[in-house]
Amino acid sequence: MIPKVPITVTVNGRTYEREVPPRLHLADFLREDLHLTGTHVGCEHGICGACTILLNGDSVRSCLTFAVQANGAEITTVEGLGTPDDLSPLQQAFREHHALQCGFCTPGMLMSTIDLMQKGTPATEEAVRGALSGNLCRCTGYENIVRAVLAAMEAAGPEGKAAEGTENEAGANG
């Protein structure tokens, strides 16, 4: 029996201490140990992007990262953005532009968008499509997702790169 490993992680500003088996994906840790089920698990091999979260401010696939590797890290999941009554500006843009249907890909789309905005992706359709091409959506045909992201970029402006509730993480590793 392989022993569990103690880890300390900060997720959405709250610190958790847990013991995890080394093979536990960060995605499963978030969902099953912390009950933060907003992070979705799709393909489980890094293709679909549904499990994208921010690890020390950078977008990563939580199905390709082990929880034990996140020891000491700061994590932001979709639960760290807004609440149903108080959506973040990006979430609001997704709602206004009807950028989701079934919603399965949405958490990954949102987290990837935060990173592409903070890394200075130009606010053009081509650049946004390229930057989001690692996130698959089977409902929308992407049109409204691209519109929502462009609207959010325009609203944030050149100074808004690091917006969206990631104040702690954006500074940590940006």
> Per CB under 8 A, which region of 18-26, 81-89, 97-105, 155-163 contacts another protein?
18-26
The Cα 46–Cα 133 span in angstroms is 12
Tokens of 54: 């921010």
Q: How far is CA 52 from the centre of its chain?
A: 5
Among 9, 11, 12, 25, binds another protein (CB under 8 A): 25
Nearer to another protein, 11 or 131 (CB): 131
List the strands of the sheet with 74-76, edge to edge. 14-20, 5-11, 74-76, 52-55, 58-61
Nearer to another protein, 33 or 96 (CB): 33
Nearer to another protein, 69 or 95 (CB): 69
For position 131 contacting another protein by CB under 8 A, the verdict is yes
Full DSSP string of 71-104:
TT-EEE-GGGT-BTTB--HHHHHHHHTT--SS-S
Nearer to another protein, 96 or 150 (CB): 150
SS3 112: helix
For position 169 contacting another protein by CB under 8 A, the verdict is no
Among 88, 106, 112, 140, binds another protein (CB under 8 A): 112
- Binding string to another protein for residues 44 to 83, with x set by CB under 8 A, is what? xxx--x--x--x--xxxx-xxxx-xx-x------------
Q: In this structure, is the dihedral angle defined by the CA atoms of residues 132, 103, 141 and 163, taken in order, positive or negative?
A: negative
Count of residues touching another protein (by CB under 8 A): 33
Q: To which H or E segment does residue 8 belong?
A: strand 5-11
Instruction: Please report, as ranges, the residues that interact with another protein according to CB under 8 A.
Output: 2, 5, 21-23, 25, 28, 44-46, 49, 52, 55, 58-61, 63-66, 68-69, 71, 112, 115-116, 119, 130-131, 133-135
